[in-house]
């Protein structure tokens, strides 16, 4: 019997999950899907989807009438906890997926997650829940394969690689003048806008360091980052015997299939990929001085408590403001820093406190900072 999937999000990653379901009909079937504004007609027809969640009330009525299926407004958690579902895939962007991730793990589901923000903001809580959480982020999938059942004491370091985004090598470029259009052109990965901007600021890599800390139980001192422009080395495991890289083509289909098939071996392969000649060249001591968001966000991760939740909320609104040309790329880490300067830390927050903190940073604190650029030392609009 194919395993029934609830797919949350149908952007760049969600579409690749659909591609895997299409390629492996014996193994997987698309039972339900959640989006915000995306049109779902074609996918409902093609895959015989039974339940959907949408963010537009007009779509609820229309889809129900045209397809006679169950359509609800913003019901991510209902889809994710449905008793018919075997696998929940969280391919949402931003922090909207936290509650559904929590609920599906509480319902003991297998959850394949690419959405970083829930783990960054609430990793300690999510890792303690009864379901099975499998990250299909390529660096995390590589780390999982490299570490397997190793003792943490035997690991000297797990090094996560980073493409560097579009501007790492362009040393003479004034990053405050970079437009959203330039920042959206990532050198190796085709991704949604939020993660593409996070890659340009290297904040995405800081989020992955925090993810790895939670997923693998590694202390921050055992986590590091290296620049690898080709994105074919995804992580490197350092032990007393030397460095072991995890090498695979730069395709999200590979880690996604590993997540879907787990604990079975993945049946998906990319046989025709040709590795570039110089594809193992690494820069092991990256210069992140032009990208202060990286160190800042790793430091906030180390602090733990409520700080990462405020950071996630502040980053979310700052990225949207940059995309609307209201602030500069270089203003994004400043918005995060100023936001964190205005909040009270709290150790061991519960899920509710984390959700409140993310939303408060997003909708009030950081938003206010963006609205008063001069007062808070931002360059501000283009
Ligand atoms: N793309 C990659 O290669 C890649 C690699 C590693 C990790 N990731 C992570 O994977 C996640 C998804 O990335 P992506 O590139 O696929 O992003 P994306 O293309 O922007 O897609 C995001 C999807 O989430 C949906 N969504 C967002 N908020 C929602 C809400 N409140 N309710 C329902 N649906 C909602 C969007 O729906 P609408 O379009 O209808 O608004 C869209 O379908 C991100 O967290 C990213 O960090 C991505």
Give the model confidence (pLDDT) of 69-88 as tens digits.
999 999 999 999 999 999 99
Residue 380 Ramachandran class (φ > 0 left, ψ -120 to 50 alpha, else beta): left
What mean pLDDT comes out for the span 8-29? 98
Within 8 A by CB and 6+ apart from 156, the residues are: 222, 238, 239, 240
Round the average pLDDT of the chain to a whole number and report it. Answer: 96
* Cα-Cα-Cα-Cα dihedral sign, residues 19, 273, 235, 294: negative
Q: Report, in angstroms and rounded to the nearest whole number, the Rg of the chain calculated over CA atoms.
A: 20
Within 8 A by CB and 6+ apart from 154, the residues are: 239, 240
Q: Which of 163, 207, 164, 167 is nearest to 183 (CA)?
A: 167
Task: Reply yes or no on whether the pLDDT at 169 is more than 90.
Answer: no
175 DSSP 8-state letter = G
pTM: 0.97
- Let me know: does 293 contact 201? Beta carbons within 8 Å: yes
Task: Reply yes or no on whether the pLDDT at 188 is more than 80.
Answer: no
The tens digit of pLDDT for each residue in 256-285 reads 999 999 999 999 999 889 998 888 888 888
Alpha-carbon gap, residue 295 to 275, rounded angstroms: 31
Residue 5 banded pLDDT, cuts 50, 70, 90: very high
Q: What is the pLDDT of residue 3?
A: 98
| Domain residue spans of the chain | 3-136
Residue 189 banded pLDDT, cuts 50, 70, 90: confident
∠ Cα 198 199 203 (to 5°): 55
Share of the chain above pLDDT 70, in %: 99
How many whole angstroms from 55 Cα to the centroid of ligand 1?
Answer: 14
Q: What is the pLDDT of residue 271?
A: 85
Strands (E), the chain: 3-8, 28-34, 51-54, 70-73, 87-90, 110-113, 132-135, 157-162, 223-227, 233-239, 242-247
What mean pLDDT comes out for the span 166-176? 91
Q: What is the pLDDT of residue 338?
A: 98
Alpha-carbon gap, residue 330 to 322, rounded angstroms: 9
Pocket of ligand 1 (CB under 6 A): 9-14, 34-38, 55, 91-94, 96, 114-116, 137, 189, 191-192, 194-195, 252
How many whole angstroms from 99 Cα to the centroid of ligand 1?
Answer: 15
Within 8 A by CB and 6+ apart from 339, the residues are: 310, 311, 313, 314, 361, 365, 366, 369
Number of H helices, E strands in the chain: 16, 11
Q: What is the pLDDT of residue 54?
A: 98
Q: Which secondary structure element, helix H or strand E, spans residue 334, and what is its range?
A: helix 331-340
| Best CATH choice for the domain 3-136 from the list 3.40.50.2020, 3.40.50.150, 1.10.357.10, 3.40.50.720 | 3.40.50.720
How many whole angstroms from 19 Cα to the centroid of ligand 1?
Answer: 16
Ligand 1, atom 30, residue with closest C-alpha: 36
Q: What is the pLDDT of residue 122?
A: 98
Q: What is the pLDDT of residue 315?
A: 98
Task: Reply yes or no on whether the pLDDT at 254 is more than 80.
Answer: yes
Q: What is the pLDDT of residue 94?
A: 92
Ligand 1, atom 38, residue with closest C-alpha: 36
The tens digit of pLDDT for each residue in 21-75 reads 999 999 999 999 999 999 999 999 999 999 999 999 999 999 999 999 999 999 9
∠ Cα 286 292 294 (to 5°): 65
**DSSP codes joined into one string, 101-167:** HHHHHHTT-EEEE--HHHHHHHHHHHHTSSSEEEE-SHHHHHHHHHHTT--GGG-SEEEEEE--TTT
Closest ligand 1 atom to 207 CA: 47
The tens digit of pLDDT for each residue in 83-111 reads 999 999 999 999 999 999 999 999 999 99
How many whole angstroms from 151 Cα to the centroid of ligand 1?
Answer: 34
């Amino acid at each position: 019997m194919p395993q029934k999937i609830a797919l949350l999000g149908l952007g760049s990653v969600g579409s690749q999950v659909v591609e895997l379901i299409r390629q492996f009909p014996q193994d997987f079937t698309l039972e339900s899907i959640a989006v915000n504004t995306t049109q779902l007609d074609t996918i409902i027809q093609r895959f015989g989807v039974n339940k959907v969640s949408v963010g537009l009330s007009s779509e609820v009525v229309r889809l129900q009438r045209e397809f006679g299926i169950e359509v609800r407004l913003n019901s991510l958690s209902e889809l994710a906890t449905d008793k018919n579902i075997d696998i929940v895939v969280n391919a949402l962007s931003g922090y909207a997926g936290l509650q559904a991730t929590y609920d599906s793990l509480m319902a003991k589901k297998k959850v394949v997650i690419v959405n970083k923000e829930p783990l960054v903001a609430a990793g300690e809580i999510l890792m303690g829940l009864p379901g099975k959480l499998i990250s299909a982020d390529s660096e995390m999938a590589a780390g999982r394969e490299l570490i397997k059942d190793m003792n943490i004491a035997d690991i000297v370091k797990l090094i996560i690689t980073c493409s560097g985004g579009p501007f790492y090598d362009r040393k003479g470029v004034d990053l405050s003048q970079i437009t959203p259009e330039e920042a959206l052109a990532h050198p190796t990965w085709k991704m949604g806008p939020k993660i593409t901007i996070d890659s340009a600021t290297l904040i995405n890599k800081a989020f992955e360091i925090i993810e790895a800390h939670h997923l693998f139980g590694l202390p921050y001192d055992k986590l590091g980052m290296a620049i690898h422009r080709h994105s074919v080395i995804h992580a490197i495991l350092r032990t007393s015997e030397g460095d072991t890289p995890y090498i695979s083509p730069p395709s999200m289909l590979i880690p996604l299939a590993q997540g879907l098939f787990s604990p079975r071996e993945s049946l998906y392969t990319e046989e025709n990929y040709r590795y570039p000649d110089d594809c193992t060249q690494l820069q092991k001591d990256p210069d992140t001085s032009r990208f202060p968001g990286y160190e800042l966000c790793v430091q906030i991760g180390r602090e733990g408590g409520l700080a990462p939740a405020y950071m996630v909320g502040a980053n979310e609104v700052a990225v949207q403001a940059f995309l609307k040309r209201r602030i500069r790329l270089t203003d994004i880490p400043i918005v995060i820093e100023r936001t964190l300067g205005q909040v009270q830390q709290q150790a061991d927050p519960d899920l509710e406190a984390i959700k409140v903190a993310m939303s408060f940073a997003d909708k009030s604190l950081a938003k206010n900072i963006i609205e008063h650029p001069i007062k808070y030392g931002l360059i501000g609009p283009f």
